[in-house]
Homo-oligomer: A and B are copies of this chain.
Amino acid sequence: MSSDPSSATLAALGESGLVAKILARIGESQVESSSIEIAAGDDAAVMGTSGSSFVLSVDMYAEGKHFRTDWSTAIEIGRRCAAASLADVCSMGAVPVGALLAIGLPASTTSHWADEFMAGFMQEIGDAGSILLGGDVSGCESIVISVTALGTVVSGTAITRGGARAGDIIGICGRSGMAAGGLRVLQRGLRSPRALVDAFRVPEIDYTAGTRAAKSGATSMIDISDGLVADLQHIARESGVGIEIDTKKIVVPVELGTTAAAFGADPMAWILAGGDDHAFVATFPPKKRLPTGFAEIGKVVPDPIGEVLVDGVLYRDAYEVSPGFQHFSS
């Protein structure tokens, strides 16, 4: 065995290690492009022209890692890939306008599967008010889907992860923990409760939540793909603030509570650490009314280190409570 760190494999490094390497490259390329408002590293990059800016983000979804064809139909997989990708531009306060799709498919893929996948993808981008701007298909050993999402925003108004201020109120729009619950159900070979399984199969995105939050003066925003605490951690770190979540303010959905109880699990752990629901979480100036659909779950406090506390307790390791889950987050 070589001790040369460059011979470390992806398995050893982990995806986050490689993502960090790529993001470092993004940083070094920010030379003198006057039209770049916000470089990648946030949910999306923002590229300005006069008056209007484009918001761009790319995501890759791999069979066996982000989805399984025995757990989800092709329609569901198509919808999920579109939804998860478009949520990224919404979380910048942008209006989703388009998507580019590249698909790698094994030779054994049926025309039916491909048709159904496209039907689901087109349905979801249509629901978001977006159109398909481009596509490519390649043969591949397993199914791989790459989606580039495009949104528009008034120049200078995109909402990053870095604007939260002490005193702000934290609001969430959408469900959290449902997809994580659905994943646990599927992992046990079960197919119900449907509410949870469906939540895992196709996230329910409120595509106008981002622009509503922007209008209400949101100071920072993110969509929850890794988990509520993990993603709030991004806001805390990027903004240089602390975040305090008050679980008394969080309502546990009935199906989530009963399923967690049946599995001997804590439903709040699923809500706090489960990803893939793509709810939006944002920070708002105090004393302002939260926009429709957003519910208060905590507040922003001074803390230059950027910790996330849940009911006053440090929750830095929340992500670790669900090993294996990272394999299905996007």
Contact = CB atoms under 8 A, between A and B. Distances in A.
Interface string A131-158: 1111111111110101010101000000
A308 interface: no
A107 B10 contact: yes
Contact of A60 (B62, B97, B98, B103): B103
Interface stretch (A42-50, A211-219, A250-258, A274-282): A42-50
A134 B21 contact: no
Given A22-B137, A58-B102, A29 B126 contact: yes
A104 B6 contact: no
A131 B30 contact: yes
B104 A19 contact: no
Contact of A50 (B8, B52, B114): B52
B139 A62 contact: yes
Most B-side CB within 10 Å, residue of A19, A108, A148: A148
A9 B102 contact: no
Q: Which 4 A-B residue pairings sit nearest by Cβ, starting from the closest?
A: A146-B146, A6-B112, A11-B107, A60-B102
15 contacts: A6-B110, A7-B112, A8-B111, A21-B118, A29-B122, A35-B152, A36-B131, A40-B135, A49-B54, A49-B152, A50-B51, A58-B146, A60-B140, A62-B138, A62-B140
